[in-house]
Amino acid sequence: MVEWEDAGIVLGRRRHGEADVVLTALTRCHGRHAGLVKGGQSRRMRGGLEPGSQVSLRWRARLEEHLGGFTCEAGAAVPPEVMEDAGRLAALVSTCGLLDAVLPEREPHPDLFDLCTGLLARLPEAEWAAAYADFERGLLEAMGFGLHLEDCAATGTTEDLRYVSPKSGGAVCGAAGEGYRDRLLPFPEVFRRTGPAPDADVVAGLAVTGYFLRRHVLDVLGRPFPEARERLIERLGRTRA
């Protein structure tokens, strides 16, 4: 018998038979991991297994390669401020959907676990949209493609950063990018904010992270963005109009 205990964040669930669910969670030490939850469709258990819920998990299986079963103990639930706000809820569902789509099974990613718990703590706050943009940038870095936005990749200057190279993910200053503007991405101001980020800056930042997530992660895996991410961008776009 193989058994372990770990902290987890629910990413998704699917029905299994009449009463059970197969739960997928991001765990601190065991990565994205699935397990069967007996009685997971019951009214008593359902509320604690919503995407974004934090749980304590015990996984048991006869062999390591088996699906195994989860015993779940409820932790921090998704706050009402998130569940009752369409934008925050879209950010939460997009977070869980992206992690479920891009992470290999059972590969530890404690950095992403901490990144995700940090976002969950920030979603009830006023700057939740910028926090979500930070999450996507951190996800890119964890997947091996970090954005270098501190100085110009061509000249080294930290002044007048206006663009991002679609090849390297590095910042480009106005002078260096002048002749290539139509081939470059706009610089995402949300990532060098010193105060509250306007929704327009968040949308621009998500355009950049979305470009690289699609090119270097999702297209490679043959998977689309979660629909919730598109709803989030549409909502942010409406609020800035």
User: Do residues 111 and 179 both lie within one domain?
Assistant: yes
Do 235 and 141 lie in one domain? The reply is yes
3-state DSSP assignment of residue 32? strand
Residue where a domain terminates, one of 21, 43, 74:
74
Looking at the fold, whether 104 and 21 belong to one and the same domain comes out as no
pLDDT at 213: 97
How does pLDDT run across 17-55, given as a tens digit for each residue? Answer: 889 999 999 999 999 999 999 988 888 887 789 999 999
Same domain, yes or no, for 94 and 48? Answer: no
Same domain, 217 and 144: yes
Same domain, 201 and 229: yes
What is the token pair recorded at 108? 């530890």
Structural domain ending residue among the three candidates 38, 55, 74: 74
Q: What is the band of 241 on the pLDDT scale with cuts at 50, 70, 90? A: very low
Determine the pLDDT at residue 221.
94
| Number of domains making up the chain | 2
Considering the domain architecture, whether residues 104 and 134 belong to the same structural domain is answered as yes
Name the domain boundary from 16, 44, 74: 74
Which CATH number fits the domain that encloses residue 199?
Answer: 1.20.1440.120
Confidence check: pLDDT of 240 > 80: no
Buried b (16+ CB within 10 A) or exposed e, 84-101: ebebbbbbbbbbbbbbbb
* Same-domain status, 12 and 43: yes
Residue 160's domain comprises 80-240
pLDDT above 90 (res 97): yes
* Gyration radius of the chain's alpha carbons: 20
CA max distance for the chain: 63
Using one digit for the tens of pLDDT, what is the confidence trace for 107-163? 999 999 999 999 999 999 999 999 999 999 999 999 999 999 999 999 999 999 999
Closest among 92, 100, 84 to 11, alpha carbons compared: 100
Q: Are residues 109 and 213 in the same domain?
A: yes
Residues 152 and 173 in one domain: yes
Please state whether beta strands 148-152 and 54-61 pair in parallel, antiparallel, or not at all (unpaired).
unpaired
What was the pLDDT predicted at 239? 59
How confident is the model over 193-207, as pLDDT tens digits? Answer: 888 999 999 999 999
β-partners of residue 212 are: none
Nearest-5° angle of CA 75, CA 77, CA 83? Answer: 170
Query: Are 67 and 91 in a shared domain?
Result: no
